[in-house]
Each structure stands twice: as structure tokens, then as C-alpha cells.
A and B are shown apart, each in its own frame.
Chain A
Amino acid sequence: MRPTKRILTMITATALAAGILGVAGPAMAAIDHYEVQVDGLACPFCAYGLEKKLKKLPGAANVQIELNTGWASFDVLSGVLLPEPVQAAVRDASFTPRDIRVTASGTVQGKGDELRLSVGGDQTLTLHAGEAFDKLRALVNKGDRNVVVTGLIRRVDDTWQLAVAEAKPQ
């Protein structure tokens, strides 16, 4: 077997093995789920406009609106959806976005209290104190850097900060 062919065969075999055994490299980073508190939402007919706006967001699916709590939620099934277009969609529906809670998955970077999660593009979530932050830190210290985290996010200067309310290995 010629060297080039041998290398190609090894690459293919490695890729197949990784796929079959579930051996993954760095996880695909993304915000997978949004929950948005929508202020001003108080009637079913008005909710339809919000539902339409959220459904139009790229990758958004399974839009749910809860009138009794004022929260709207949806999954992001493909691509990268950052919080800014979500806020804009709520404003376009003539409502006011307030708290945003996300579930994001990816590889945690950094160490100690300086943990970050890339969520696509050049956007990074800064992970900080929340009720599950210690748990996240323990996972990272153990080497489990591919995680799923959930929590409220807020914009601070140029970055989004996520208060880690839940954390688990991916």
C-alpha cells in the first residue's frame, strides 16, 4: 500500500471508529433552548404575533407561549442563534423582552472562576456565579469540559453572562 493511500485509510478508519464509538472531539457549541419573559403580553390574539416572530427566527422550532406566566420558549434545532435577534423579535412583536433563560451546550474554556462557553460566531457566554456554578467547576476540574448549562443570561458590556443554574456533562 502506498503511503498516501495508507494515510487516507487510517483517517477513514479513525473517523468511522469515532462515529461508532461516540468518541467526540470538542462539542458543537450553541444555545439550544431559549425561554424569554415577555412583558406586555396579556391576550391570546396578541400572542399570535409573538409566536409568528419567534417561529421566523433561524433554526427556531417548538415555540410555546404561556400566557399565565408571560414566558415564551423555543428550541434551536440548527445553526447559531444569539440572544440579540431573539430580543429584536420580541420588540418587533411590540412587546418588551425581559429575562432570558437559555440552555447552552459546548466546551468550557478557562479555569477556576474564569469559565467561558463559546456559543457560535465570535460570541462567548461568560459563566459565573449561579446555584450550579460549583458543580460546573467540579466538572471542569474533573476533565468534563463538554457540558450543558442552563441559566439566566444578561448583557454586560460586550459579553453575555450566564448565571449557571444547572450544569451537567454533555
Chain B
Amino acid sequence: MRGHELLGQWIASLVLAGALLWTTQAEAGPITFNTALPVNANELILREQVIWLRATDDPSPMNRNLNVIAVPTVLVYGVHPRVAVFGILPFLYKRMDITTPSGQRVRRSASGFGDLSTFVRVTALQIDRPRETIRLAPFAGLKMPTGATGIADDLGPLPPVLQLGTGSWDPFGGLIFTWQKLRWELDLSGSYLVRTEANEFNAGDEARGDASFQYRVVPWGEVGPGVPSWLFAVLESNVVWQGRDEIGGVENPNSGGVNWYLAPGLQWVTLRTVLEAAVQIPVLTRTNGQGLGQDFIARVSVRVNF
């Protein structure tokens, strides 16, 4: 496998890692990234997701076909009305079909738990009005190398994209703005993930800008008595920039780039649960070199308030 091809696979890998890392919010709110909405003091929220990433647009002769199913479990605990601690542990199934130099089509795969991430979110600004809230919350955390990185099969060590972990300790942080009313909700987020070196490989850092607009479509008119269930139509935008990778301190020109996704979705919100689904569709792809082109990232999710 040529170096730039191997590294190109990292783009898909990093996008998936980002998809896992930035979908940790467990309150109502955006589907593909975080929110500043409240978590009660001493309360626990669970979010289970199923994320399917498919990347098949391979310009190389290997004709790689990557499928990843990720099931991240997110637990959120409110330690204070303004402070919440998040923990995310994904279970991963990764599979790649690849054409070898001899022309044989082979399948390589791995499954198991990936990298554990944890972060703290603090509500720095809270403006509450009747039936409306505006919140601003910085967050900071760390992705830990708990996922396996030395997995091999009969053909040898699996490529990085199929490993369950990155092997690196990666700090991250950002800022989330949420404006929620009875009729709609707007969320904006900016974040940065610092990738550190592991196994002589240092993936490029990642910066993201996310936006989400949720509009209540059921009930369409006035909200009824009590706490009725709502259906939101959701449109989200994710712009992801990734820096170039380094191997042994040497920057790789065939890595990094910018991707812009649009994600239409639906969200059913009740008193105790949220059911939702969204598909992130790549609108603009400016990857450097020969990276795997993404088809989509689909996700369904349920959140339960305990």
C-alpha cells in the first residue's frame, strides 16, 4: 500500500472520530454536535446512537470500500446546574473491502471498543426568559487512547482506518451557543481538537464549525396543555477542517482538507426520551491528495432522561 493511500484513509478515520467525538450532547438539541442546554444537578442522561459511515469513492486502484458502524454510549452527569461532565465510549465495527495488487478482493475488519472521551461543559452565560433561553457554554476535554491500535489479520497489521483507537491523547475544546424558544432552536458551535503523536504518526488537528436549526412541525400551532411531545424538522451544517498529518515529523501533502456536510433530520422529543435520525451528506469536499470520498454518515439515536 502506498504511503499517500494509507494516509488518505486517515481522512475517513478522522472524520469518523470527529463524528463520534462531537455528537456527545445528550439533552435535546442538535443531532450531530453539542448543545448548551441544561443538565440538572445530580441527574443522569443516557444517549445511545448508531452511526453508519460509508466511504466508497476511492480514486486509487485498490477500490477501497469502507463501512463503519459505531455505537457510542454517552453518559452525562450534572454536577452543578451550570456544570456537566460527559463520557463517551464507542463500540465499533469497521470493515473494508480492498483489491490487492494481485487483483484479489479481500475483506479486512475489526470490532471492539474505541477511544474513550470525556469533557466538562460549563454554562458561562444564561439568559432565561419566559419560554425562552439563551446559553453560552465553553467545554474542554480529552480523548484517551483506550481503543486497540495493534490489530492485525492474516494480511498483516490493519491500516489505521481499521484500528479501533488512534493511540494518541488528544485534548479538545470549544464554545457552544444555544438559543431555544418554544417554536425553534438555534445552536452554533466552534471547536478545536489537537491531535498528538502516537506510533510515530501525528494526525492533523481538527477545527469545526457547526450550526443547527430545529423547527417544531408537530404540533404546528400553539403548544397544547401540559408537556406534549414535539416533532422537530432539523437542518444542520458541519464544516470540518483537518490539518496535514505527519509521519516521523514529515508533513504529508496528501492529507487534511476541508469538508462541508449538510444534515437534514427529524427529532421526536417527549418528556423522557428523544428519538432522532439524520444523514450527513458531503456537500463540499476539498481533501488534499488521494483520500477516500465519503458517501454519507447516517445516524439514529435515542436519549433517555433518568
Contact = CB atoms under 8 A, between A and B. Distances in A.
Given A67-B228, A68-B224, A42 B180 contact: yes
B78 A94 contact: yes
Interface in A47-92: 47-53, 64-70, 91-92
A96 interface: yes
A67 B226 contact: yes
Interface in A33-56: 37, 39-53
Nearest to B214: A43
Nearest to A42: B180
Interface residues of A, number: 30
Kindly state the interface size class of chain B when it binds its partner: 35 or more
A48 B272 contact: yes
Contacts of B273: 45
A95 interface: yes
A85 B227 CA distance: 23
Given A40-B126, A42-B131, A95 B224 contact: no
Interface of B: 27-28, 37-43, 78, 81-82, 123, 126, 128-133, 180-182, 185, 222-230, 269-274, 303, 305
22 contacts: A37-B130, A40-B38, A40-B133, A42-B132, A42-B133, A42-B182, A43-B230, A44-B271, A45-B269, A46-B37, A46-B38, A47-B227, A65-B226, A67-B182, A68-B182, A68-B223, A68-B224, A91-B81, A92-B81, A94-B38, A94-B78, A94-B123
Interface of A: 37, 39-53, 64-70, 91-96, 98
